[in-house]
C-alpha cells in the first residue's frame, strides 16, 4: 500500500507532536508512533521538567548559557546554545497555548533547580512533567483535521531518491519512509515532501537504562543507512539514579529529588559526594555517575542510596507523587527510608548531524530532539535541557517550513520487497539482543578503556554480520527491525569512543584520564561509507 502526504513526522514526543501542530496549517501531516500513543517515547517518562529562562526572574539567558557550556565541557556550539536558550519562553508559551500545565504559586510559575544549574529555572508539573506535555499535545493532535495520527506504525527505512527505480538520479534526497504496521504485519510506502525524524535516543543498546523499550535508536540507524552524518555518539549520558529493585523496570528517580535536597549516600548511609565535587549531590551528571561507579567498585555494593526522607512527608508526597507511589509499590516508603539507586544509560547526546532547525545533510530530511546532534549538549547534557531542545527545534523547524515552499511533488514510489518464506526463530534474535546489550554495558559503560572497546568491537562485528544475513532472509518483525538498528547504534558508539582518545564530559577513558587540546572543539563524525 502507498500513501503520499506533505509532511511525514516519525515520532510523537514533544518534538514530533509540537511540530505537527505548528505546521498542520501548511499542509497534510502524517504523524507516526511506534507504540501506543502515549507511552512510546521518552517525553512521556520525563519527570523533572523543562529548563527555561522566564522574564521577571533573577535568572538570565547568560546564566543559562554559561551553565550549558560548562556542562558541555568544551564541545558545545555557542551560537546554537544561545539560540536554544533564547527559545525558552516561546516554547513555554507554545506548550501552554496547547493546554500544557505547569505548577504555579499564585500567578507566578514555581521554579525548581537541578544539578549544575546556577538558578531555579525548571518549570514542572508535579513529577510527571513529560506525561502532562505528552497527553495535552496528543489531545490536540487527535483533534486536528489536517493531522493523520498513526500509532503502532514502525518506520523501517527512508525512501531515498538514489535507490528508486522510478527516478534516474543519484541525488541524496529523501521522499518519505517504508513503515511497518505492527497490527497487521503490512508494510506501507509513505511518501512525503519533507520527512522529520523525532524518534528519540538509543538507550536500549545498554543492559540498564532509564529509557522505555522503544528507545532503540531507530531514526539514527535509518539516517545512517541513508548516508547521513552521525555525530558524537560516544557521549551517552548515564543518569545517576534509577530505582534499584529486582521487579522495577527502567524507573527513573528524577534529578529534581536532589534539586529539592536529596542526598546521595553509600551502603552505610553516609554521604560521599563531597569527596568528588564542591556541588556534592548537585554535581553534573557525569561527575555523579562516575563517583557512584567508583563507590560501588570500591565497596563491592551493587547499588547506593538517595535520601530525601529528611523533608516533611507532605512536601515529598506533593512534590513527587509519582515517585512516592511507585516506590511504595515495592515497599519503599521514601518519606521514611532511603531509595536504592543505580546509574543507567539515560540520554543520547550524539545523533544525526543537524542544523538548529533540524535540517540534515540529506535533502528533505530533518532530525529533531534527542535524535539530532546540533552542538547544544556538547560532551554532556545539562539537566532538563532535553525538553527545551525538543520544543525549540520543533518551533524552529516549523518556522523554516512556513518560510519555504512545499517542494517538489513526491515521485512514483517503489513497493516494499521482502522475503516470502518464513524462517523466523526468535531465540536467535533474543540471544544476540541480550549479548549486545551486555557487551555494551560491560565494555562501553560509564568508564571505558582501549582494551574494553576493542573487545566490544569484535563482538559487535560478529553479531552485525549474523543479523544482517538473518534480516535479508526472513520476514519482518519488531524485534528484528530493532535488533538491526541497535547494532548500528552500538557500532557507531564504540568507534566514536575509540576515536576520542581523551576524557571529556560523559566520555571517560582510564587510558586517557585528562582532556586533550587535540580533541578540543572536534566532533566525532561517521558515515556508512566509513564504517562498512
User: What amino acid positions are annotated as catalytic residues?
Assistant: 285
Residue environment code for 479-488, b if the CB has 16+ CB neighbours within 10 A, otherwise e: ebbbbbbbbb
Sheet harboring 351-353: ordered strands across?
372-373, 351-353, 230-231, 525-526
H helices, E strands: number in the chain: 16, 20
Residue environment code for 365-390, b if the CB has 16+ CB neighbours within 10 A, otherwise e: bbbbbbbbbbbbbbbbbbbbbbbbbb
Asked if 232 and 349 count as a contact pair (C-beta separation under 8 A), the reply is yes
Sign of the CA dihedral 103, 22, 372, 77?
negative
Contacts of 54 (CB under 8 A, 6+ apart): 88, 89, 92, 109, 111, 121, 123
Residue whose C-alpha cell is 506533593: 318
Q: Please tell me the distance from the alpha carbon of residue 343 to that of residue 323, in angstroms, as a whole number.
A: 17
> All 3 cell numbers of residue 375?
552542538
Q: Find the length of the chain.
A: 532
Radius of gyration of the chain (CA): 22
CA 274 to chain CA centroid, nearest Å:
30
Contacts of 140 (CB under 8 A, 6+ apart): 17, 21, 98, 99
C-alpha distances out from residue 475 to 160, 291, 436, 447, Å: 22, 45, 22, 38
Sign of the CA dihedral 516, 521, 525, 530?
negative
Contacts of 197 (CB under 8 A, 6+ apart): 10, 11, 219, 222, 223, 352, 365, 366, 367, 368, 371, 372
Pairing of strands 2-10, 29-33: parallel
CA dihedral 444, 213, 387, 245 (to 10 degrees): -80
> All 3 cell numbers of residue 489?
547504534
The helix, strand and coil proportions of the chain, stated in percent and rounded to the nearest 5, come to 40, 20, 40
Amino acid at each position: 500500500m502507498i500513501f503520499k502526504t506533505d509532511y511525514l513526522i516519525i515520532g510523537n514526543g514533544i518534538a514530533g507532536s509540537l511540530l505537527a501542530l505548528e505546521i498542520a496549517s501548511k499542509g497534510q501531516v502524517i504523524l507516526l508512533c511506534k507504540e501506543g500513543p502515549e507511552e512510546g517515547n521518552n517525553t512521556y517518562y520525563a519527570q523533572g521538567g523543562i529548563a527555561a529562562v522566564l522574564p521577571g526572574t533573577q535568572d538570565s539567558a547568560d546564566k543559562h548559557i554559561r551553565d550549558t557550556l560548562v556542562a558541555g565541557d568544551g564541545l558545545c556550539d555557542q551560537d546554537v546554545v544561545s539560540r536554544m536558550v533564547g527559545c525558552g519562553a516561546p516554547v513555554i508559551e507554545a506548550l501552554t497555548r496547547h493546554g500544557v500545565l505547569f505548577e504555579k504559586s499564585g500567578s507566578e510559575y514555581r521554579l525548581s533547580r537541578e544539578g549544575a544549574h546556577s538558578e531555579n529555572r525548571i518549570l514542572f508539573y508535579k513529577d510527571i512533567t513529560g506525561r502532562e506535555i505528552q497527553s495535552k499535545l496528543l489531545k490536540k493532535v487527535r483533534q486536528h483535521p489536517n493531522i493523520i495520527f498513526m500509532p503502532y506504525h514502525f518506520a523501517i527505512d527512508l525512501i531515498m531518491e538514489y535507490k528508486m527505480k522510478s527516478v534516474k538520479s543519484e541525488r541524496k534526497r529523501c521522499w518519505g519512509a517504508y513503515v511497518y504496521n505492527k497490527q497487521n504485519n503490512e508494510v506501507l510506502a509513505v511518501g512525503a515532501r519533507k520527512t522529520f525524524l523525532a524518534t528519540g535516543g538509543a538507550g536500549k543498546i545498554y543492559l540498564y537504562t532509564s529509557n522505555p523499550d522503544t528507545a532503540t535508536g531507530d531514526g539514527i540507524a535509518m539516517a545512517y543507512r541513508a548516508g547521513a552524518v552521525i555525530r558524537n555518539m560516544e557521549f551517552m549520558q548515564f543518569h545517576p539514579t534509577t530505582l534499584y529493585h529486582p521487579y522495577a523496570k527502567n524507573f527513573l528517580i528524577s534529578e529534581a529529588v536532589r534539586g529539592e535536597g536529596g542526598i546521595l549516600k553509600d551502603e552505610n548511609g553516609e554521604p560521599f559526594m563531597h569527596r568528588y565535587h564542591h556541588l556534592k549531590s548537585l554535581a553534573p551528571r557525569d561527575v555523579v555517575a562516575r563517583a557512584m561507579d567508583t563507590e560501588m567498585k570500591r565497596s563491592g555494593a551493587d547499588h547506593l542510596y538517595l535520601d530525601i526522607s529528611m523533608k516533611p512527608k507532605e512536601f515529598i508526597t506533593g512534590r513527587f507523587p509519582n515517585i512516592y507511589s511507585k516506590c511504595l509499590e515495592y515497599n519503599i516508603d521514601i518519606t521514611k527510608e532511603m531509595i536504592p539507586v543505580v546509574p543507567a544509560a539515560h540520554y543520547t547526546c550524539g545523533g544525526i548531524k543537524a542544523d538548529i532547525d533540524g535540517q540534515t545533510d540529506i535533502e528533505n530530511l530533518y532530525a529533531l530532539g534527542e535524535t539530532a546532534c546540533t552542538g547544544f549538549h556538547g560532551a554532556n547534557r545539562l539537566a532538563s535541557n532535553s525538553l527545551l531542545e525538543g520544543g525549540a527545534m520543533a518551533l524552529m523547524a516549523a518556522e523554516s517550513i512556513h518560510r519555504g515552499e512545499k517542494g517538489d511533488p513526491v515521485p512514483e514510489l517503489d513497493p516494499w520487497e521482502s522475503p516470502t518464506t518464513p524462517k523466523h526463530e526468535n531465540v536467535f534474535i533474543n540471544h544476540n539482543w541480550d549479548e549486545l546489550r551486555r557487551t555494551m554495558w560491560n565494555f562501553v559503560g560509564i568508564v571505558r578503556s582501549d582494551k574494553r572497546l576493542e573487545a566490544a568491537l569484535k563482538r559487535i562485528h560478529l553479531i552485525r554480520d549474523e543479523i544482517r544475513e538473518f534480516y535479508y532472509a526472513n520476514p519482518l518483525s519488531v524485534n528484528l527491525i530493532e535488533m538491526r538498528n541497535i547494532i548500528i547504534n552500538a557500532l557507531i558508539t564504540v568507534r566514536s569512543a575509540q576515536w576520542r582518545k581523551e576524557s571529556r564530559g560523559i566520555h571517560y577513558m582510564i587510558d586517557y584520564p585528562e582532556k586533550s587540546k587535540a580533541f578540543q572543539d572536534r566532533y566525532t563524525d561517521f558515515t556508512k561509507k566509513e564504517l562498512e
